[in-house]
């Protein structure tokens, strides 16, 4: 069994947070708060235009460090060189159309663009602008050029912009920006554009099977791992359809189409409808194995005696059905949340499930004692039908997602479209 790779310890890192001159700058205050609460040392470098939206006092209060934007500030410390040289990550949000253009041209007319030229660490640019600006050929060319140089230019979200406008170009939610930044701190090359032209379908969350209008049979899945898989796939260039079951507290991943379902049979219908055109299907949802056979039309009342037994019916095996129906080119990934018992350990049960289902890959998680479900981190094993097995190290769920997509891309046979 091979190791998937080292997981950097959770330790304070040096981050340069660049702020572009857009209205979305106010949302980056939450990004800064989350980064500093995680223990990172964050130096905020706004453009002059950015300070018209959020003042230096706000950035200084949240970061606990002085804020400068001019190359003539702190001249003896050569800040325009040292900031980039010493950083573990440069994160720019919002990255406006003007800022992307200046970065692509190699300009160094303020402290932020000079820092981008001297940085040798991962650089994450998170765009925010009106749809017309994002889709303009000049911006498209600038983004392509920046990506060709190794910068990560995130896909923007789709939604309400300034005024009444709506469309692609919205800044992703702060939690998603922090997740992407954290992923690059753990694994600098986790977001290659190797899924461009690919279509992927991902299920996430936990299904609920109604017992009566009030109660249901469910599970503890939060959907975070499925959302991380969708987020990473979208940022690696894929067209993502996310079938989400009860994940209302999670922000939609930027660049993904989200279909919301409730029960196992609803999830089955949505996945089978979207799967035929997909290059990969990842079944990360925790699907209920059983459902009440006869859901009550009204609330079951408490009485002085024990309630009657609740007969259960078997839910469809969606993963097995996908394997039977799949096109020849399609890669299918299953998830196994396991506990050890008298018949074998977690890994043994995972291997048995992989063989039984016929998937190409199986992610095996040990559950219980605060592991896997409803937490921010994850770990486990990645098993291949070809016999290749690797350990998935403990880390953010986006880190595990990046290893899964590595394995999926190596198994894709059909050329990207």
Q: What positions carry a catalytic annotation? A: 219
Classify residue 294 by its DSSP letter: S
- Bridge partners (DSSP) of residue 127 are 95
**Residue 213 CA: distances (Å) to CA of 207, 210, 309, 392:** 15, 7, 18, 40
Classify each residue of 229-267 as buried b or exposed e, where b means 16 or more C-beta atoms within 10 Å of its C-beta. Answer: bbbbbbbbbbbbbbbbbbbeebebbbbbbbbebbbbbeb
Give the three-class secondary structure for 211: coil
**Residue 122 CA: distances (Å) to CA of 89, 138, 301, 410:** 5, 24, 59, 24
From CA 343, how far away is CA 31, in angstroms rounded? 46
Q: Tokens standing for 233?
A: 């796939």
Q: Is the peptide bond before 94 cis (omega within 30 degrees of 0)?
A: yes
Question: Backbone phi, then psi, for 103, in 5-degree steps?
Answer: -65, -40
Q: Tokens standing for 409?
A: 């891309």
CB atoms within 10 A of CB 306: 6
From CA 273, how far away is CA 265, in angstroms rounded? 12
From CA 210, how far away is CA 154, in angstroms rounded? 39
Those residues whose C-beta lies under 8 Å from the C-beta of residue 394, and which sit 6 or more positions away, are 7, 377, 378, 379
Those residues whose C-beta lies under 8 Å from the C-beta of residue 288, and which sit 6 or more positions away, are 206, 207, 208, 209, 217, 218, 219, 263, 264, 315
Those residues whose C-beta lies under 8 Å from the C-beta of residue 385, and which sit 6 or more positions away, are 354, 358, 359, 360, 361
| Burial class of residue 47 in the structure, from the number of CB atoms within 10 Å of its CB (0-12 exposed, 13-18 middle, 19+ buried) | buried
């Amino acid at each position: 069994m091979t190791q998937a790779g080292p997981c950097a310890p959770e330790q304070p890192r040096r981050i340069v947070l660049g702020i572009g001159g857009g209205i979305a700058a106010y949302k980056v205050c939450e990004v800064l708060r989350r980064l500093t609460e995680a223990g990172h040392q964050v130096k905020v470098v706004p453009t002059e235009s950015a300070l018209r939206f959020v003042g230096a006092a706000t950035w200084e209060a949240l970061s606990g460090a002085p804020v400068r934007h001019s190359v003539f500030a702190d001249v003896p410390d050569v800040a325009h060189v040292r900031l980039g040289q010493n950083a573990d990550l440069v994160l720019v949000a919002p990255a406006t159309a003007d800022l992307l253009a200046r970065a692509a041209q190699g300009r160094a007319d303020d402290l932020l663009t000079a820092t981008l030229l001297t940085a040798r660490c991962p650089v994450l640019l998170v765009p925010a602008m009106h749809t017309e600006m994002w889709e303009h050929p000049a911006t498209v060319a600038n983004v392509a050029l920046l990506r060709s140089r190794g910068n990560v230019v995130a896909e923007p979200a789709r939604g309400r912009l300034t005024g009444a406008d709506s469309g692609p170009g919205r800044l992703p939610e702060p939690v998603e920006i922090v997740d992407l930044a954290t992923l690059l701190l753990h694994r600098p090359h986790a977001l290659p554009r190797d899924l461009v032209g690919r279509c992927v379908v991902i299920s996430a969350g936990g299904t609920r099977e109604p017992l009566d209008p009030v109660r249901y049979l469910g599970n503890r899945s939060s959907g975070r791992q499925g959302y991380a898989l969708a987020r990473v796939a979208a940022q690696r260039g894929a067209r993502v359809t996310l079938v989400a079951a009860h994940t209302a507290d999670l922000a939609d991943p930027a660049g993904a189409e989200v279909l919301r379902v409730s029960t196992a049979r609803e999830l089955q219908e949505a996945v089978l409808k979207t799967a035929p055109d997909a290059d990969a299907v990842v079944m990360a949802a925790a699907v209920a194995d059983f459902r009440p056979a006869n859901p009550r039309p009204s609330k079951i009342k408490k009485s002085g005696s024990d309630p009657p037994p609740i007969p259960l019916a078997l839910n469809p095996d969606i993963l097995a059905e996908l394997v039977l129906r799949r096109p020849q080119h399609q890669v299918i990934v299953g998830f196994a949340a396991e506990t050890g018992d008298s018949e074998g350990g977690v890994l043994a049960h995972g291997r048995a499930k992989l063989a039984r289902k016929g998937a190409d890959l199986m992610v095996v998680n040990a559950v219980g004692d605060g592991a896997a479900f409803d937490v921010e981190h994850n770990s486990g094993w990645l098993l291949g039908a070809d016999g290749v097995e690797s350990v998935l190290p403990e880390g953010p769920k986006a880190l595990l997602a990046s290893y899964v997509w590595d394995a999926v891309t190596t198994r894709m046979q059909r050329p990207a479209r």
